[in-house]
Amino acid sequence: MTTSSIDSVSANNQPLAKKLATGLKALDIDLSAERHQKLLLYLDLLLRYARPLGLTSLDDPLMALERHILDSLTPLPWLPDEGRLLDVGSGAGLPGIPLKIARDTLEVMLIEARRRRASFMTYALGVLDLKGIKVLRCHLGQDCPLKEETYEVVISRALSDLDRFISLAWPYVAPDGWLVAMKGPEIRPELASLSPALREKLFIKNLRLPFSGAKRNLIFIRK
């Protein structure tokens, strides 16, 4: 896909482009026009290809913009400017692809167990012309060839309960790095099962999505 086709995507979606700008402003995220265009192009790919493949159920562009693109970007203000980020169970690329578009200084690894989802991500990365981001099709905890690698940020959205995510991901969090779990409105039951030692390393940010007002919780645990 060329730059002109990227332009045409945003040019054909002025209401969506405005909504993206409004939503980012509400989240206090300032990005260049080129990044706005790439986010819109990725949204276009999600709606055009990921939806028919059953990788997302949302077909309303405004709803998908909020629930996929803006939601994925909510952790951005608390992420480091540089370093390695591992997204576990990325599905169609969420939150890893929007985060990479927004902060291209991060080196990103997207792990996804299912072939069709991993293939979609590989296709999307090519269309978006993103560098410093890879897709690994494997099942973390079973067959991922990550060896001793560690990451400054290990993140997931809608992967599993917090306990399971911690047990899968903790070995891959670098010393002083962060495990980040993107959660919905109710997190008390999951927090209750955390060990006292982990609770001391916890930082929780609650927020609302800009248009629907849907509640979200970002759980950060420092290693």
Ligand X SMILES: C[S@@+](CC[C@H](N)C(=O)[O-])C[C@H]1O[C@@H](n2cnc3c(N)ncnc32)[C@H](O)[C@@H]1O
The annotated binding site for S-adenosyl-L-methionine is made up of: 89, 94, 157
184 belongs to the binding site for ligand X (CB under 6 A): no
Instruction: Provide, rounded to whole angstroms, the least separation between the CB of residue 183 and ligand X.
Output: 11
Residue 69 near residue 38 (C-beta atoms within 8 A): no
Q: Which residue from 1, 11, 63, 158 is in contact with ligand X, where contact means CB under 6 A?
A: 158
159 interacts with ligand X by CB under 6 A? yes
Q: By C-beta, is 14 or 142 nearer to ligand X?
A: 142
Cβ atoms of 211 and 19 within 8 Å: the answer is: yes
Q: Does 110 bind ligand X (CB under 6 A)?
A: no
Nearest residue (CB) to ligand X, 8 versus 49: 49
Which residues make up each annotated binding site? 89, 94, 157
Torsion-angle region of 28 (φ positive above 0: left; ψ -120 to 50: alpha; else: beta): left
Site string for ligand X, 81-100 (x = CB under 6 A): -------xxxx--x------
Q: How far apart are CA 123 and CA 171, in angstroms?
A: 29
> What residues form DSSP beta bridges with 87?
110, 155
Tokens of 151: 């990451």
Judged by DSSP in three states, 95 sits in coil
Q: Per rule CB under 6 A, is residue 53 in the interface with ligand X?
A: no
CB 212 within 8 A of CB 195: no
Q: Which residues inside 133-152 make contact with ligand X, applying CB under 6 A?
A: 139-141
CA-CA-CA-CA dihedral for 57, 59, 62, 63, to nearest 10: -20
Cβ nearer to ligand X, comparing 75 with 89: 89
Planar angle of CA 215, 216, 222, nearest 5 degrees: 155
Question: 16 or 169, CB closer to ligand X?
Answer: 169
Find the binder of ligand X among 19, 157, 183, 216 (CB under 6 A): 157
Partners of 137 in beta bridges: 112
Q: Footprint of ligand X on this chain (CB under 6 A)?
A: 88-91, 94, 111-114, 117, 139-141, 157-159, 168
